């Protein structure tokens, strides 16, 4: 598989993501439902704590990737749905730190929403991964 970042200008690279990812020669594509801060029983965790919820949502995403024999290095796109865009952006370095060791960036979109599936949830992360 070959991944080529597509960035007509470099502003997004400074923030840790690409404006697009051209993916060629891949074998498998994993399309993940949005992951949020729930435990194994589907119960919301870390109410009111964006950093805690973001970390748990990323943990849950990593579990799915492992189940498909993939890692964060395979992620080419992340979509973030949040009830508080400003607070998510303040905590976005947590996402970049998690991906730092992969040597890969991803395409991304951040969307503000009125509510997520559970009333205590602040953020949900939808991913696409390829290998």
Predicted confidence (pLDDT) per residue in 26-61, tens digit: 899 999 999 999 999 999 999 999 999 999 999 999
The domain of 61 spans 26-130
- With respect to residue 3, please indicate whether it lies within any of the assigned structural domains: no
> Is 18 inside any structural domain?
no
Residue 8 inside a domain? The answer is no
CATH number, position 52: 3.30.1330.40
**What per-residue confidence (pLDDT) applies to 1?**
87
Q: How many domains does the chain have?
A: 1
Q: Is residue 80 part of a domain?
A: yes
The SS3 call for residue 1 is coil
Are the beta carbons of 98 and 58 closer than 8 angstroms? yes
- Return the half-sphere exposure (C-beta side, CA atoms, 13 A cut-off) of residue 116: 23
Query: Residue 98: its pLDDT value, please?
Result: 96
pLDDT at 26: 83
Find the mean pLDDT for residues 3-25: 93
pLDDT over 90 percentage in the chain: 95
Q: What is the pTM of this model?
A: 0.90
Tell whether 13 is covered by a domain.
no
pLDDT at 22: 92
Share of residues in the chain with pLDDT > 70 (%): 100
* Residues 79-93: tens digit of each pLDDT: 999 999 999 999 999
Distance in angstroms (rounded) separating the CA atoms of residues 63 and 23: 23
Per the CB < 8 A criterion, the answer to whether 94 and 53 are in contact is no
Cβ 46 vs Cβ 37: under 8 Å: yes
Domain presence at residue 10: no
């Amino acid at each position: 598989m070959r991944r080529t970042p597509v960035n007509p200008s470099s502003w997004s690279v400074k923030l840790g993501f690409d404006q697009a990812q051209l993916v060629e020669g891949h074998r498998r594509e994993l399309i993940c439902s949005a992951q949020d801060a729930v435990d194994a029983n589907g119960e919301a965790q870390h109410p009111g704590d964006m950093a805690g919820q973001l970390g748990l949502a990323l943990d849950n995403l990593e579990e799915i990737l492992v189940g498909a024999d993939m890692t964060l290095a395979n992620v080419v796109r992340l979509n973030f749905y949040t009830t508080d865009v400003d607070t998510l952006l303040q905590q976005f370095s947590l996402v970049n730190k998690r991906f730092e060791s992969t040597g890969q960036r991803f395409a991304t979109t951040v969307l503000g929403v009125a509510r997520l599936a559970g009333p205590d949830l602040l953020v949900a992360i939808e991913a696409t991964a390829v290998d």
